[in-house]
Structure 1
């Protein structure tokens, strides 16, 4: 049996001066986003990066709303993070759910776990459970914020700090784009931020329960997401089409 990677035990080698500098830059960026846009929302998966941003927003009372997508197939530990945020920060995360009729139609036509059978079936499931609820969550906003990082996967290697979401005609920000995994965990430890218990059980990236597994030592941090697919298909649609990816932050709408 392979050893379990405890992702909460990282970040010890990050210098305090570097972490302080990264934190200062992050806080300045979040403040600028809130000042630049009248209505901004942060899409939280309740995993490590997003708990970092949750702390940065709520501990400083930055005017950015936080929501999460409850797909109906999340781990109990992930759902439990909503209560932990409320207990720690006194903030109730807004949740959006898939349309029940669409879920039932998918299951009736293809089966409950059809996403294992093809990329097309999996992306259709993601469209119903994640993308459509995201569209409702972002209705009327001027900009949205994510916890994506370049280091997470090959599909995010060229991630810009600022993009333009062409389909919704809003700005999109990835303030942790250049953060490393070690820096994320150093921040979480320094500020004693609550984290999903699954991170201590070998899960660096956490999505729906049937589509996420713990990873083995040395594997890519996104290896446990849709592990039966090739590396270049591992996105659910939230951060690819219909979002237009820009090659440089300066080209994004502000």
Structure 2
């Protein structure tokens, strides 16, 4: 679809669904032909179970893309398997870095110590771009309260660099909304949450968060970075400062 047409459609969707609930937004995105083919991209992290559960209720055959960076916590890998089975998700696509690229660029898996952006590009950004080929858009669990460039996020966005639509059903949710949904639906939490990890990524680049810190303060601690690069705005990787 031409970018100007996609932009107009996204603007119309945001205007129409501005006061609607997350479930309604997701239901529309997954069931209307105008949305095209969508995939849910999930980290199976601290809050991922909310959107995964919604998808399992609305359309459990929705493709779910999980980026296995091969640097994840063992707890995340176990949680991913258990959650996919419990929710009955039927199309889990586990994506990894290209073998040849990984051998050439990070043979000993220490690239994150030298260049975190390059490591994220190798293990997340490029694999995801390949996985999304053929899809018209993707669904994310991002929320405004996570701050930075996410603070003004709408339900529907355009990716100028790819021509895809991005759907953010939980954009307007608060931390209390997330907790309430999990409790009401008796959903299992990621085991690392109880150990002080409110935001969970790769093991080498994720640390516990202290009381009073921003929920993403443990991601790439000490660096001018809190995004891995898979979220692109106007063709550019979004960079956000970390509250230390």
Q: Shorter-chain TM-score category?
A: 0.7 to 0.9
Contact 1:39–1:64 (CA<8 Å) still a contact in 2?
A: no
For residues 173-209 of structure 1, what are the alpha-carbon distances to aligned partners after superposition, in whole Å with 9 as ceiling and x for unaligned? 1111111112111111110112210111111111000
Q: Please give the secondary structure, in 2, of the residue aligned with 1:197.
A: coil
Residue in 1 that maps onto 2:70:
72
The answer as to 2:103 corresponding to 1:107 is: no
Q: Deviations over 1:139-158 (max 9, x none)?
A: 11111100011111323222
Give distance in 1, aligned partners of 2:192 and 2:236: 32
Say if 2:146 and 2:216, in contact at 8 Å, map to a contact too. yes
Structure number with greater CO (CA < 8 Å, separation at least 6) is 1
Runs of 4+ with deviation above 6 angstroms: none
CA distance in 2, matches of 1:45, 1:146: 10
> Aligned pair 1:32/2:24, yes or no?
no
For residues 67 and 193 of structure 1, the distance between their equivalents in structure 2, rounded to whole angstroms, comes to 20
In the alignment, what sits opposite 1:58? 56
Q: What is the Cα deviation at residue 241 of structure 1?
A: 5.3
Task: Give the SS at the match of 2:166.
Answer: strand
The number of residues matched between the two structures is 215
- How far did residue 123 of structure 1 move? 0.8
Could you say which residue in structure 2 is the equivalent of 1:41?
A: 39
Structure 1 pair 122/244, CA: closer, same or farther in 2 (3 Å)?
closer
* Residues 1:173 and 1:124: Cα distance change in structure 2 (over 3 Å): same
Equivalent in the alignment of 1:155: 149
1:62-116 CA distances to partner (integer Å, 9 max, x unpaired)? 66321110011001111112221233122242111101221222225xx633434
Report the Cα offset of residue 40 of structure 1. 0.7
Unaligned runs of 5+ in 1: 1-23, 246-254
* Structure 1 counterpart of 2:121: 127
Higher mean C-alpha deviation, range 124-133 or range 95-104 = 95-104
Call closer, same or farther: CA 1:115–1:83 in 2, change over 3 Å: closer
Return closer, same or farther for 1:212/1:138 CA change in 2, 3 Å cut-off: same
Q: Distance in 2 between matches of 1:141 and 1:193?
A: 29
Matches within 5 A, 1:76-87: 76-87=74-85
Aligned to 1:235: 227
- The one-character-per-residue Cα deviations of 1:117-169 (angstroms, maximum 9, x if unpaired) are 4xxx2111101100111112111111110001111132322222211012221
**Unmatched runs of 5 consecutive residues or more in structure 2:** 1-19, 238-244
1:95 matched to which residue of 2? 94
TM-score normalised by length of structure 1? 0.78
Is the contact made by 1:166 and 1:244 (CA closer than 8 Å) also made in structure 2?
Answer: no
Contact 2:40 2:140 (8 Å CA) reproduced: yes
